[in-house]
Structure 1
Amino acid sequence: MPASSRDSSAGAGWQDQEPGRYRELMPPRVVELSWLNPATLWRARNGPLASIFGDPTGTDRQRWVGAQTERGAAEGDLVITRDDPDTFSFMLLGDTGEGDGPQYAVVPGLLKEGAGTRYAVVCSDVIYPVGTGNDYPTKFFRPYRDYDAPIYAIPGNHDWYDGLTGFMRVFCRAPALPPAARARPLSAAWWRGLLWARPDTPDDALLDQARQMRSAPAQAASQPGPYWAMDSGPIRIIGIDTGLLGDIDREQGEWLRRVARGPRPKILVTGSPIYVDGEHHPCAIAGGGTVDEVVRDPAHHFVAAIGGDIHNYQHYPVDVGGRRIEYVVSGGGGAFMHATHTIPRVSVGGVGEDDFRCYPMRGDSLAFYSRLYGRRLRLRRLFDLTPDQASAVVAHRLGTTPVRASDRTVTLRARFVASVLGVASHRRRRSRFRLRLPVRRTLTQVLSPGSATYSPPFFKNFLRLDVTPEAIRIRCYAATGLRAHELDPPVEDDFTIPLPPATPAA
């Protein structure tokens, strides 16, 4: 097994190594997405508008599901029935489609480890920045053209920025919705409508041409809507759509409670992770209750909940009434990297620091961002930390032991950089350094994606899940953009979920 980031800095991708050949997969001309471009921010304005003037996602989602039902494309409880055997494997990745080097760098490892798997699932934000259908040729069909199995998906907030039009056209073959009823003048919905970004009209000829890249019979996939349940071998996978603001509507909540019933072991796939960054976000259901209450109900037999949206990997094994549910964040499928070094010492849901896993590790995240800010501020001599320096200062501030053996000397400069770049401290006293640069909070959505991050290591990830009637094994693989890791992707986390003995269906 190749060395991972937990073994060495070379395993993390820091040492000079041969770059990968992922660029050979890319189109001749690639537009690198810049979140510093005002035009990009303006196109992605629907999220902030929904926060201010109210979120229409729930209503629009049910219009999509209703239209699918009317045209006979969705039946019953939106269950996809597959003929998978009791022992099989599938892939999962999230937050994929910026269409640039980091996304394509995931592909070689995905193809290697995904060989022979039955299908893949994309959890959240298939397309950036606004989910338009016209971006699917280079950000979906081309990258995964050689993955010889179906791909299913649930949308993220960026897929909703065009009203879900592109997502529904590609994954459900759904025509555009008719215009919604006009809002009452001067109402919040009326003001929202004045600024709301209208969806692009998908170019059907362009999409039909792009579909030829994934036209093999083995790649054929059909899903009934933006949320669905899939019976696959001994398990049921339930994908929910958390829309623009990370919650679900009443009708979807009622559906979730129905399809969660029964003894079959279940995995939730969601665009909004329930445990993330050391916090618990149970995901509200309109009308009352939360998604996590459904997951935790022992009558529903959930064994894992996997979410995207945050662009890294995190793992929280939570004890719920004497049984363990694995809560996972897997959003490192191609989009810009969210920091992990800003995650405080973990103590949530009974999970402590020794049980928690993340990728990139906090020290590598701090080293990555120290170089990023050093470059952008032209203060490299001040900001740049080596991976060993970053690992040591993170461990010092959190009161932990560095995962990799390293020089544990913590200099004043390293403490300053760690403080201003948002590394939490387990000490109650306040840091002498009060300055904070935006790393994971609101402004990060502008500065970190807008910085040049097109040279390895990329710190992306994807999952492989191996299912048997007795257990599910989940492995998190790294994608760094280096050739050695394309040929043999490092494993950054590896755990097994025992399944209860099969019982007759209720």
Structure 2
Amino acid sequence: MSDSSRDTAEGAGWGAAERGEYKKLMPAKVEKLSWLDPRTLWAARNGVLASWFGDPTGHTRSRWVAQREAAGAPPDKVIRRGDADRFSFMVIGDTGEGDDPQYAVVPGFLKTSQGTDFAVIASDVIYPVGTADDYDTKFFRPYQDYRAPIYAIPGNHDWYEGLGGFMRVFCDDAPPLAPEPPPRPLTRAWARSLLWHRPRTTDGQHLDQARELRSAPDQRAVQPGPYWAVDAGPLRIIGIDTGLLGTIDAEQGAWLREVSKGPRPKILVTGSPLYVDGEHHPCTIEGGHGTVDDIVRDPDHHYVAAIGGDIHNYQRYPVQVDGRTIQYVVSGGGGAFMHATHTIPRVDIANVTEEDFRCYPLRGDSLAFYSGLYGRRLRLRRLFALSGDEATAVIAERLGIRPTRAPGEPVRVTRRARVVAGLLGAGGRPDRTSRLRLPVRKIYTHLFSPSSATYSPPFFKCFLRLDVTPDAVRLRCFAATGNRAQEIDPPVEDEVTIPLT
């Protein structure tokens, strides 16, 4: 097995290394997504409008679900895949930017996924707005050689055009929803409708041609809707749709409670992680019906894990609940630009300590990555750019922890390294540089990160493989750096065995 980022800097993808062969998979012309482009920002306006004028996602979702049931989808929304007591599946999140970081994941994903029964995409299948025409190069082409079905749950970006593209691809070519009467004038819904982004009438004209790339019988997958459950062997996997704003509607909440009943062990896959960045986000069920995490924690429901996309890295929190452990996982590193991990403070939440917590990329690698980005953007590389060893050492100092990866040579933490770490929010700690802190997490996410995405390794992407037996689930997080060594032998960045009995 090849070195991981926890073993060596080379295992993380740093240093002189042979670039992978993923570019051979890419189309000749790739449009690089920029969130600084006013056209992109305008097309993606529905999330902002929903937060200002009310979120129509729940109502629209109910209409999609009703349409699917009228077309013959099972009312319980359960996909039954047989009773074999052993099976394997993949989970990959936030995939669809269609550029180098997404395609760099593919060789390792295909190698690691051999022998798996199906895959699940956890959130944001297509960026920026879920357009049906984008599925060619951002879904069908990259995964054309994966010889098993792919199921998906939508993320907020898939909802920016009302979920039409997603429903056509994953839900048996569902036709568009019938128009509704216009809202009453001068209401919030009326104001929202004036600015609401809608798909082009010509969208998806080439979808049938794109489908040919994944047209083999063993690749076919039909979902009952945007949320669903899969029964496979001893396990039930439940996927929920958290829409534009990270909540679920009351109708979906009632279904989730019903489908969660019974002694069968369960894994939740959600578009919004329940534990992330050292914080708890239990996911509200609209109408005052509690939270998703209430359902997950209920001992009568027998959940063993909850895996969320949306945040573009890997994190794991083993939370003790009533004498049992539920693994709360973030897995959104499947192709979109990298969200920082170095801004995560020292973990101490729900009895999960820093020693229990795992993340990828490691905080030091994340800090080195972002210091390099800012060095290039500001043309101040000598000031900003930290080596992996320097970043690892300053993170250890700021958080009061042992270095996650021991440096090759002793590293002295310099004043420059401390200043850069403070400016980039390392460890989430306030200090004298706080007032000058550069945007990394939220503002940078919306403005700079996507447009500054590097197109050369290391990319720090990841995906999961889960192997299920009657007694346990073996969950492994594999890395994709974009280098050839990690394509040939994808390193395991984290591994945990989850008992089912």
Query: Does the pair score TM above 0.5?
Result: yes
Aligned-pair distance for 1:452?
4.2
Are 2:391 and 1:416 aligned? no
Note the 1:276-291 alignment, pairs <5 A: 276-287=276-287, 288-291=289-292
1-side partners of 2:422 and 2:148: how far apart? Answer: 46
Stretch deviating more after TM superposition (177-186 or 340-349):
177-186
1-side partners of 2:158 and 2:202: how far apart? Answer: 14
2-side partners of 1:318 and 1:209: how far apart? Answer: 46
Aligned to 1:475: 476
User: Does the Cα contact within 8 Å between 2:423 and 2:433 map onto a contact in 1?
Assistant: no
Q: Residue 115 of structure 1: SS of its match in structure 2?
A: coil
Which residue identity is paired with 1:334? Answer: G
Note the 1:159-198 alignment, pairs <5 A: 159-172=158-171, 173-198=173-198
2-side partners of 1:113 and 1:120: how far apart? Answer: 12
Provide, for residues 141-167 of structure 1, a one-character-per-residue CA deviation record: whole Å limited to 9, x for no partner: 000000000000000000000100000
2-side partners of 1:202 and 1:247: how far apart? Answer: 31
Q: Residue 300 of structure 2: SS of its match in structure 1?
A: helix
2-side partners of 1:176 and 1:481: how far apart? Answer: 38
1-side partners of 2:83 and 2:396: how far apart? Answer: 45
Stretch deviating more after TM superposition (342-351 or 204-213):
204-213
Aligned to 1:148: 147
Note the 1:46-65 alignment, pairs <5 A: 46-65=46-65
Aligned to 1:386: 387
Which residue identity is paired with 1:109? Answer: G
Q: Residue 318 of structure 2: SS of its match in structure 1?
A: strand
Aligned-pair distance for 1:181?
2.5
2-side partners of 1:202 and 1:264: how far apart? Answer: 45
1-side partners of 2:468 and 2:488: how far apart? Answer: 24
Aligned to 1:22: 22
Provide, for residues 107-144 of structure 1, a one-character-per-residue CA deviation record: whole Å limited to 9, x for no partner: 00000000110000000000000001110011000000
Aligned-pair distance for 1:88?
1.1
2-side partners of 1:51 and 1:306: how far apart? Answer: 25
Provide, for residues 307-345 of structure 1, a one-character-per-residue CA deviation record: whole Å limited to 9, x for no partner: 000000000000001000000000000000000000011
Which residue identity is paired with 2:93? Answer: G
User: Does the Cα contact within 8 Å between 2:5 and 2:11 map onto a contact in 1?
Assistant: yes
Aligned to 1:504: none
Note the 1:260-409 alignment, pairs <5 A: 260-287=260-287, 288-406=289-407, 407-409=410-412
2-side partners of 1:431 and 1:316: how far apart? Answer: 31
Which residue identity is paired with 1:441? Answer: K
Segments of 5+ residues of structure 1 without an aligned counterpart are 501-506
Q: Residue 29 of structure 2: SS of its match in structure 1?
A: coil
Q: TM-score, normalised by structure 2?
A: 0.98
1-side partners of 2:223 and 2:444: how far apart? Answer: 36
Which residue identity is paired with 2:98? Answer: G
Aligned to 2:99: 100
Aligned-pair distance for 1:442?
3.0
1-side partners of 2:297 and 2:457: how far apart? Answer: 39
User: Does the Cα contact within 8 Å between 2:422 and 2:431 map onto a contact in 1?
Assistant: no
Aligned-pair distance for 1:201?
3.6
Aligned to 2:122: 123
Aligned to 1:39: 39
Q: Residue 162 of structure 1: SS of its match in structure 2?
A: coil
Aligned to 2:251: 251
Root-mean-square deviation (CA, aligned residues, Å) is 1.1
Which residue identity is paired with 1:370? Answer: S
Which residue identity is paired with 1:29? Answer: K
2-side partners of 1:84 and 1:27: how far apart? Answer: 40
2-side partners of 1:366 and 1:270: how far apart? Answer: 27
Q: 1:432 to 1:70 in 2, by over 3 A?
A: closer
Which residue identity is paired with 1:120? Answer: A
Aligned-pair distance for 1:204?
4.8
2-side partners of 1:26 and 1:377: how far apart? Answer: 30
User: Does the Cα contact within 8 Å between 1:133 and 1:200 map onto a contact in 2?
Assistant: no
User: Does the Cα contact within 8 Å between 1:36 and 1:447 map onto a contact in 2?
Assistant: yes
Q: Residue 374 of structure 1: SS of its match in structure 2?
A: helix
Aligned to 2:222: 222
Which residue identity is paired with 2:256? Answer: L
Aligned to 1:236: 236
Q: TM-score, normalised by structure 1?
A: 0.97
1-side partners of 2:488 and 2:83: how far apart? Answer: 28
Aligned-pair distance for 1:431?
3.0
Aligned-pair distance for 1:425?
5.8
Q: Residue 84 of structure 2: SS of its match in structure 1?
A: coil
Stretch deviating more after TM superposition (263-272 or 182-191):
182-191
Q: Residue 300 of structure 1: SS of its match in structure 2?
A: coil
User: Does the Cα contact within 8 Å between 1:476 and 1:492 map onto a contact in 2?
Assistant: yes
User: Does the Cα contact within 8 Å between 1:131 and 1:166 map onto a contact in 2?
Assistant: yes
User: Does the Cα contact within 8 Å between 2:131 and 2:203 map onto a contact in 1?
Assistant: no
Provide, for residues 446-482 of structure 1, a one-character-per-residue CA deviation record: whole Å limited to 9, x for no partner: 1011114111000000000000000000000000000
Q: Residue 170 of structure 1: SS of its match in structure 2?
A: helix
Aligned to 1:91: 90
Stretch deviating more after TM superposition (417-426 or 240-249):
417-426
Aligned-pair distance for 1:430?
3.8
User: Does the Cα contact within 8 Å between 2:165 and 2:204 map onto a contact in 1?
Assistant: no
